[in-house]
Structure 1
Amino acid sequence: MQTNADDSELAKFSALAHRWWDPQSEFRPLHEINPLRLDWIDAASPISGKAVIDIGCGGGILAESMAQRGAKVTGIDLSDKALAVARLHALDSGVSVDYQKIAAETIAAERPGQFEVVSCMEMLEHVPDPASTVRACADLAAPGASVYFSTINRNAKAYLMAIIGAEYLLRMLPRGTHEYQRFIKPAELTRFARDAGLDVVELIGMHYNPLDKRYSLGAGTDVNYLMRCVKHA
């Protein structure tokens, strides 16, 4: 099976892996949005005691926070450095997360239907074939399970805010973090989900206010957005 990964993308994030848990680093936005996305997931699919898998877990910010709420978490990624950081931080935090270096498509073939919650956050815009990742997420989900995605819309506003604004003007992210042509419109992600046997049940925007420097969830999916799906029972 050919791995659905971009070596340049893996190298980009591996080079920054040692800074993953520094809340003032390039990963500051992930630290700041994590409580929002964690609460959103936990409210819709209470995760305590559930088998959860986080696809593209990186250094483990979301995976670890879900484990702290009682979930039985598996975190997968293809970056050795990011996974090493994730494992060390979990030891320091005293939480249990099963971190594995494995592709989503591979573990989906090995463990189909074994997870009650599947999350794939801020990853789809970094892989060559996002539809393949969506199918893998669907295959991993048990019937009736919830599958969560977050990514970036593809339009002029998203280009101005997610690349020009965030990377060049506000310098919230390193230049080159995102490539505009890899952004995904909600209609496209909806099609990927439905083709994979998922029902889309919620679509919500993630917004940043540069005045008070705070994030919030709400109506409007012009730039960053999150999608909740349910696997066909």
Structure 2
Amino acid sequence: MRRATELRRLLRNVNARAWSLQCNGHGPAAHLQLGWTEHLPQGPSTSNRASLNTSTASAAEPANQQKVAPSIDKKEAEKFAALASQWWDPAGPFAPLHRFNPARCKFIRDATCAMQGLDYQQGEPLAGLHVLDVGCGGGILSESMARLGAQVHGIDITEENTRVASQHAALDPLLQSRIRYECTPVEALAGAEIQGTSHLDAAAQRPEHEQQGQQQGQQQQQQQEEQPPPQLYNLVLASEVLEHVKRPDRFCGTLAKLAAPGGTVIISTLNRTPASFALGIVGAEYITRVVPRGTHQWDRFITPEELVIMASEAGLTLSHMAGIQLQPRMPGSFALTDDTSVNYIAAFYKP
């Protein structure tokens, strides 16, 4: 109940701020034409929310698979690695993402400019910003951010993806000078533990191993204290990634850690509704087949309420939210809307 009340308060503040911007003519709020959501879809039950914060690697997994970055899902990584060569095929499995890209870039540009006091009408409105694109894939979004003037660090856990992204950026000297790709988990950038015994693993150890586990924990803590502080970014992006990671709550916390004070974190993902199942899975994967079967799992979709709660617990404040929807009069075209029932995108402020 407390969380639901807090969420409603956050959303009221966002709506009031948006209305004030539109009335006073400050910033590009009128240009944004975003859906300032007053009513979000009903959130998960208490048991579902608890599962977000307590899920761990399956006990059937080998121990060495549990000792990797907590957000990595090996099956999801292998799925996208197999498709890596087709990232820039306009008729390939990522064609919907290419058509989706203009709408999300419009939101990213306008929300970032509104939050950071930039002029969205400039030719390169994100000039001077350092952007982290988490789960960059083949570089579709990274390249768009670079063309808006940003210096971009694109990371992905799949080497095949970063190789394809680097090769494509190399075709344009401008992009090559503004983008750096790296195959690494986001936790590594944040200085988080990605190997060795985790806190969850240690809790599961037998009593006779407690002393050894404590010694390992002390050694890991000393190593973390010796690490340099992580590089911080003006803008952290995770677009169409959240539904593919383990522990989305921890993932959001890592994104927040990498945002500079006063920075922006923007996440786009799929809502968990009957509409998203019908359109995002049945329609896209089985009827039109524009997306390979098995790309998404409906039970891993994240509702806007869940996302706001996870972000709030990570120290982020909701600023903007909008739906992204197919336009019936323009087949294959996406636009920003106030309907968040399928795809949606949200911008958060790092105090």
TM-score class normalised by the smaller sequence? over 0.9
Q: Indicate if the aligned counterparts of 1:10 and 1:78 stay in contact, CA closer than 8 A.
A: yes
Deviates more, 1:39-48 or 1:79-88: 39-48
Structure 2 counterpart SS, 1:92: coil
Tell me whether 1:226 sits opposite 2:345 in the alignment: yes
Q: Indicate if the aligned counterparts of 1:29 and 1:172 stay in contact, CA closer than 8 A.
A: yes
Deviates more, 1:113-122 or 1:189-198: 113-122
Root mean square deviation of aligned Cα = 1.4
The Cα offsets for residues 154-196 of structure 1, whole Å up to 9 and x where unpaired, read as 1211111110011111212001000011100111000110000
The Cα offsets for residues 68-123 of structure 1, whole Å up to 9 and x where unpaired, read as 22111000000010110000001012213111111112202265461001110000
Q: Indicate if the aligned counterparts of 2:268 and 2:344 stay in contact, CA closer than 8 A.
A: yes
Q: Indicate if the aligned counterparts of 2:104 and 2:324 stay in contact, CA closer than 8 A.
A: no
State how far apart, in whole Å, the 1-side matches of 2:186 and 2:110 are: 25
Task: Output aligned runs, 1:174-193, within 5 Å.
Answer: 174-193=292-311
Select the residue among 190, 198, 212 that pairs with 1:108: 190
Counterpart residue type for residue 5 of structure 1: I
Change (3 A) 1:114 1:210: same
Specify every segment of 5 or more residues in structure 1 that has no aligned partner in the other structure, as ranges: none
Select the residue among 43, 46, 63 that pairs with 2:110: 43
Select the residue among 73, 88, 92 that pairs with 2:167: 88
Counterpart residue type for residue 93 of structure 1: D
State how far apart, in whole Å, the 2-side matches of 1:111 and 1:209 are: 44
- Normalized per residue, the structure richer in strand is 1
Per-residue deviation at 1:41?
Answer: 1.1
Tell me whether 1:8 sits opposite 2:75 in the alignment: yes
Select the residue among 130, 141, 155 that pairs with 1:76: 155
Select the residue among 264, 281, 289 that pairs with 1:171: 289
Specify every segment of 5 or more residues in structure 2 that has no aligned partner in the other structure, as ranges: 1-66, 113-124, 192-227
State how far apart, in whole Å, the 1-side matches of 2:328 and 2:128 are: 37
State how far apart, in whole Å, the 2-side matches of 1:56 and 1:93 are: 21
Tell me whether 1:156 sits opposite 2:274 in the alignment: yes
Aligned length: 232
Q: Indicate if the aligned counterparts of 2:154 and 2:181 stay in contact, CA closer than 8 A.
A: yes
The Cα offsets for residues 1-55 of structure 1, whole Å up to 9 and x where unpaired, read as 6312111111111111101011111101111111221122112224212111000
Counterpart residue type for residue 123 of structure 1: V
TM-score normalized by structure 2? 0.64
Change (3 A) 1:142 1:7: same
Change (3 A) 1:200 1:112: farther
Which residue does the alignment assign to 2:64?
A: none
Identical counterparts, % of pairs: 41
Larger Rg: 2
Change (3 A) 1:188 1:225: same
Which residue does the alignment assign to 2:265?
A: 147
Structure 2 counterpart SS, 1:25: coil
Select the residue among 335, 345, 351 that pairs with 1:216: 335
Moved over 3 A (4+): 110-113
State how far apart, in whole Å, the 1-side matches of 2:111 and 2:183 are: 28
Deviates more, 1:64-73 or 1:145-154: 64-73
State how far apart, in whole Å, the 1-side matches of 2:104 and 2:286 are: 25
